[in-house]
Every structure is written in structure tokens, then in C-alpha cells.
Structure 1
Amino acid sequence: MKNRKLNIAFFGSSLVSAYWNGAATYYRGIIRALHERGHQVTFYEPDAYERQQNRDIPDPDWAKVVVYDATEEAVYKCLQQAAEADMVVKASGVGVFDELLEREVLNLKTDDRLVVFWDVDAPATLDRVHNNLTDPFLTLISQYDMILTYGGGDPVVKAYEALGAQKCVPIYNALDTATHFPVAPEARFTCDLAFLGNRLPDREARVEEFFLKPAAATPDKKYIIGGSGWGDKPMSENVTYIGHVYTNDHNAFNCTPKAVLNISRESMARYGFSPATRVFEAAGAGACIITDYWEGIDFFFTPGEEILVAQDGNDVASILSDLTARQAKAIGEAAYRKVLAAHTYNHRAEQLEQLLYAKVKQQDVALA
């Protein structure tokens, strides 16, 4: 059983489009790495939110993609197909019929088929159910064979276990070496500091503090912000808004500026141990990263050597004023070495594989 190759059905937001879908590169990295280790993944995604009209990639050769209509009938048809899998994954935040999927995938659970909930925004999910004791997901948590999370460390694990989870394990995001790597700089991304992230309610105040505030305080420096939704946001004249940045431009976006900024969403910063995918993508391009503070940074990178940490916007401005091109290059190179050594999706897929084999073995023992 140890080397068994799994047929996995995966219900998620989108594998082929990162449009209003920050989890796309996480899904791609994990699923590509699983494929390289011999597992087969069918990814079921709804035709919703104009994602199919804003694809970053064609259907990949490392996963089968099934795009279904955003109707109940189509969802049930996909669930019927998923019954052929060895393992069924329901990711959080599919975007349509989430409650239906969370409930119905559990009907596919058998002694031979694992059903897993994969939470790509655990802090938000936990906040939601803690604030609504009638949330239907609360009664389902204990029924899943396992809860996997995008991050969150011990605080998230303990919170899920307190809600009855049989097992909760963070599978941190990482670097997909097939898509994110150093490239030549491009003039259109030249600036002192760049930030990439969609405009979301629990991120906006932190973007104001860590990006827009230091930009306004340092008019002699140039800033670039990318991502969806920032078009009508007031910004100082030294900030350029470039809109949605497609995946194939991420490397140049990360390689060209003197430094790139990571800003956590409020809930993720509060729980800690939740580095954004873009931290690893930027490190994989050799970028000098400045990040807002969150608990657990040193679990991934060494502050001051492989990443620079800011407590607030004043810190960001101070770091930029002292940062030389030579220092930025050295920090970026150190981050690149670290991410290749410890934080690729192959590392994460190996962790997941061992976790699944242990669960299967545990079930086999129980049935014996």
C-alpha cells in the first residue's frame, strides 16, 4: 500500500485561471507535483466569475480539468464521476454551491475512499464558523477523514481539532520551480517597491498601512501595485497601478523591482504561519522580499538574511531608504537558495503522500 498511486478527484475554484482566484498557483504546484509522483488528479471547477474567459494556462497535461456549468445538475453529475476516485477533495471557496459540495462529497466516503476538506483560507473559515454557530459546515467537520489547510500552523490545527476534526495538517504553499524562476528584468516593472495582490476586505487596511502610506511618505521613490480591484483606490502620484498581472508575468514582476512587498490578509496575519504563495514565488525568482510581520516567519526564512520584516509602514519606508541594490541582490539570492532547499511543491507533495499513506494504512489496520 505504501507505493500505491492514487486517483484523486479535486473540487476547487479553478486550476486554469488565476482571475479573482489567489489559490490557483497553489493548486497548480501541489497537483503538478502529485502528478510527477505518479498520482492522477481530475480537477472539477465551475464556469463562474469570468475565470474561463481569463485563463492563464490551457488545460495542462498533468491533470484532467472538468469545467462544469454553475448548476446543481452539473454539480451532481461531477459528484457521480468522482465516485470512481480513491480520494475526493473538497477545497474551500469553490465559489458556487460550496455548501452543497461540502455536504455531498461526504456521501462518497467509504472504507476504501478518503474524503478530505482542503481549506485554502482556514483563518476566514474558522472566523466564519466561530461567529455563526448555525453554520452547516460545523456539523460536517468531524465527518471528513482529514482537514488539510493552506497554512496556519498550530493555532489553526488546534482550532480545527476543537471543532471535532479527526486530523488537521497544514500543507504550506511553496515554489513551483516549473513556473517561477529568475528571468531578465523588464523595464515596465522597474521601481523601488512592487506589491501584487487582489483588493479584498481583510487586506485593504494593511495595504494602506504597509504600501500606500510609505509610498506617500517617500515621493522620491517609485512604486507599482498589481492585482484586481484597485482602480478607484486613491494613491499618491508615485504609485502606478497596472491591474491584473497574469501568471506568465510574475517572474519579471518579481525580478525587476529593487524589492517586492508581501502583505498578509488580516486574518492570516492574526493566526500566523500563513505565508502567501507569492512569498515563495518571489523567493523563487530571487527577489528581495519585504514582508509585514506575522508569527512564524522564521519557520520559513531567516529575517534580516533571507527576508526583511516590517512592523508597519514606517518600517517599510525606513528599510527602503537604507536598502542598496547590492544588499537587495544578496537577500534575494539567499531566499532563492532557501526555497529550493526546503520549500518547493515537491517537498509538500512528499509530505502529503506520507500523510495519505499513513491514513490508508490506519484504515487497513482498523478493517483487519
Structure 2
Amino acid sequence: MAGPFTFVVLGLSLSSSWGNGHATTWRALLRGLREEGHRILFLERDLPWYAEHRDLPDPDFCALEFYSGIDDLRRYLPAIRNADAVVVGSFVPEGVKIIDFVAAANPEVLCFYDIDTPVTLARLDRGEEDYLAKRQIPIFDVYFSFSGGNVLNLLESRYGARRAEALHCSVDPAQHFNTGEAIEWDLGYLGTYSPDRQPALERLLIEPARRLPHLRFVVAGAQFPESIDWPSNVERFEHLPPSEHASFYTRQRFTLNITRRDMVELGWSPSVRLFEAAACGTAIISDRWRGLDDLMPEHEAIIIGETAEEVVRQLTSLPEPERQAIEHAARERVLTAHTGRARAREMIRAIECSNAALPSMAVR
């Protein structure tokens, strides 16, 4: 490919991972693009709750600038018009207006990166169009989807996407690796509170903790209600910045992966936490969903746990050599195919193959 390319990205947040999984996804992908030689300007809405919790205010892999609203974006019109590709992400505040604003600037290539595809489609079907409108889907040269599988055909056939491409979340190996620390917890979980995930957390971690008072458990994540009755052997962290994720996963014997209901129903929607934990060499116990076996084959690279009894059995009966073999297989899969740099290459290939990109970007 010709290059390097210049990207302008408008996403939910790059500077703060507080209460959102977008930041780590963007960081891994953009670092991968930079490692491939491309240049990126990331534009982030200056919001107070992120401003108060910024754990990456000055990234070394892209330019990061903040804007106060639609009118303030006008000062970036030259950058938008001159970029090789502009990417708008899901859940951007006033996203519908921003997409219209960017599209009116007629950028070389316009893409959407839906880090929340199952949630997005469920919202659109309910008539909720806060960050993306149905009418806007056909204007993108490439619609990058967090989810793969059948949803790609759905995006093109039902919603009118010109080109739908899977672009799963990814991991940065420089940030996620086994730190060599001693194990402190038998089972842990990292994730922001979500009402639809809470029943699974109750079933797959809290109940096993009650049944196994001699073992140690940990849950890290923001916004959990004070009404939750945590067993005494469950340690809690309100927030864990990405810089501490590697240490957190390394100190777990097993970690729990729980998937949002919309993502389970759609399938092929791996969480960034899944890849982070695997990169750190931690054995993963996960709920079951379509497409998971394509990424992490059961018994080979991941353990499926659907009941408290199954989790208790794994925690108390799985031979140590088997646990180590599972975590090693998962780590090898992630470092081979699910790094930020691997995703960056997938993104560039898709952009080059888009009908809009072929005649214009090839000569740059």
C-alpha cells in the first residue's frame, strides 16, 4: 500500500478509561496504526467526567485534541478535508450531528467504527438514534463492526451499509503481559457494572465465593451499586487504570469473562477484557456465545462456565498442568491474531478495498 496515511478519528474517549472500554480499544488500534507508519489526530469531546479521570492525557502514538461542541469542531475542518480517512466511533456525544458535519466536509474516505454493534442495532430498532441514525449507515465507505459473523450481512442487507467489515477489539502486548507476580486470587473479574451482566456475575463469581470461603476472589470496576452483598472473601477495586491491568490479571489463577446480553444474542462479539486476560497468560472462564469457539476453542484455549457448580468444579478440580496449557494456548492465539497492530493492518486493507478508496488513496 502507498503511505503513510493520515487519519482523523472522532471517538468517545482516548484520554480516560473511566467507566468505558472504548479507551483501551482505541489505544491498541491507534498504537498499531502508528507502528505501521500512519499518522493520527484523535478528537475527543471535552467532558467533565472524563476530564476528572484522565489516565492518558498525552499519548505518544497520536495527536490528541479536545473540542467543546459541534461549533468548536470547525477549526478542525482543514484536517478533516485533508485526511486520507476519517473515522467516527460509536457513542460519540451528539454523534448524529457530528456525522452529518463530517460528511458535509466531503472527506476522502469516511468510516464508522462501531465498538458497540449489538447495542447500536438494538437501539436503532427501538428508534433510538443518539449517536448514529439509520439514514447515515449508507454514507460510510466502510462500516467497521466490533462484531463479526452474521451481523456483517445484516448490516449490508437490512441497514444498507456499503461495506461491513469485522474489526474486533484488540490488545497492546506492550501493556498486557504476564508480570511474573505471585497469584493472590483464585478468580477475578474486571468490568464496569452493567445490569444485564450482573446476574451472570452473581451466578459465576459471587455464588462460588460463598460456597468456597477458603478461596480468594476479586472484582474491579466502577458504578456497582452499594446494595450488592459482597461475600467477605471478595476484594473490591472501584477503578483500575489500564496501566494496572497486567498486574491485576497476572495475580489471578482464573479470570471471568461475562458478555453483555445484546452481544450474546448477536454472537461473534469478543470483549477487550477477553484478549487482555489472554495476553497476560491468565486462564479464562467465560459464558458461552456463538463465535467464541472460532476465537478461543473450548477446552483448548478457554473454559466455559454456565453455572455456579461448573465454576466451583474448575476452581477446585482442574489439574494445574491443564490450566497452564489452556492459558498458554489462549495467549499464543491473541499475540498472533488479536493485537492492535494486527487490527491496524485489517483496517488498512478494508479501506484500500473500499470502492471509494481505490481510485484516490492508491495514488497517495
TM-score (norm 2): 0.92
Partners in 2 of 1:61 and 1:26 — Cα distance? 16
Please give the residue correspondences for 1:323-338 in structure 2 after superposition, counting only pairs within 5 Å.
Answer: 323-338=318-333
Is 1:42–2:41 an aligned residue pair?
Answer: yes
Matched letter for residue 211 of structure 2: A
Q: How does 1:132-171 map to 2 (within 5 A)?
A: 132=127, 137-171=133-167
Aligned position for 1:84: 82
Q: Distance in 1 between matches of 2:24 and 2:153?
A: 23
Q: Quick one: structure 1 residues 243 and 186, their matched pair in 2 at CA, closer, same or farther if it must change by over 3 Å?
A: farther
- Specify the alignment match of 1:5 in structure 2: 4
Give the conservation status (yes or no) of the 8 Å contact 1:191–1:221. Answer: yes
Instruction: Report the counterpart of residue 251 of structure 1 in structure 2.
Output: 246
Alpha-carbon shift at residue 336 of structure 1 (Å): 1.5
1:74 corresponds, among 72, 75, 90, to 72
Kept in 2, the 8 Å contact 1:206–1:266? The answer is no
Query: Match for 1:15: what amino acid?
Result: L
Q: Is residue 313 from structure 1 mapped to residue 308 from structure 2 by the alignment?
A: yes
Query: 5+ residue gaps in structure 1?
Result: none
Residues 87 and 116 of structure 1 are in contact (CA less than 8 Å); yes or no, is this contact kept in structure 2? yes
Structure 2, unaligned stretches of length 5 or more?
none
Query: Is 74-83 or 57-66 further displaced after alignment?
Result: 74-83
Relative to structure 1, is the Cα distance of residues 134 and 29 closer, same or farther in structure 2, using a 3 angstrom cutoff?
closer
- How big is the shift at 1:362? 5.9
1:1-368 mapped onto 2 (5 Å cutoff): 2-69=1-68, 71-79=69-77, 81-94=79-92, 96-110=93-107, 113-132=108-127, 137-185=133-181, 190-230=184-224, 232=226, 233-359=228-354, 363-364=358-359
For 2:253 and 2:319, locate their aligned partners in 1 and report how far apart those are by CA, in whole Å.
8
Residue-pair matches, total: 360
Q: CA RMSD in A?
A: 2.3
Residues 317 and 108 of structure 1, relative CA distance in 2, 3 Å threshold: farther
> Cα gap change, 1:197/1:157 in structure 2, threshold over 3 Å: closer, same or farther?
farther
The answer on whether the counterparts of 2:155 and 2:161 sit within 8 Å (CA) in structure 1 is no
Q: 1:5 Cα shift?
A: 2.2
| Structure 2 letter corresponding to 1:147 | Y
Q: Percent identity?
A: 29
| Matches of 2:104 and 2:199, distance apart in 1 | 41
How far off is 1:359 after superposition?
1.7
Which shifted more, 204-213 or 15-24? Answer: 204-213
Between the aligned partners of 2:64 and 2:253, the Cα distance in structure 1 is 38
- 8 Å contact from structure 1 (residues 108, 115) kept in 2: no
Listed one character per residue, the Cα deviations across residues 55-78 of structure 1 (whole Å, up to 9, x for unaligned) are: 222412210001122x33223434
Q: Distance in 2 between matches of 1:3 and 1:354?
A: 11
Maintained 8 Å contact 2:141/2:355: no
Q: 1:134 to 1:280 in 2, by over 3 A?
A: closer
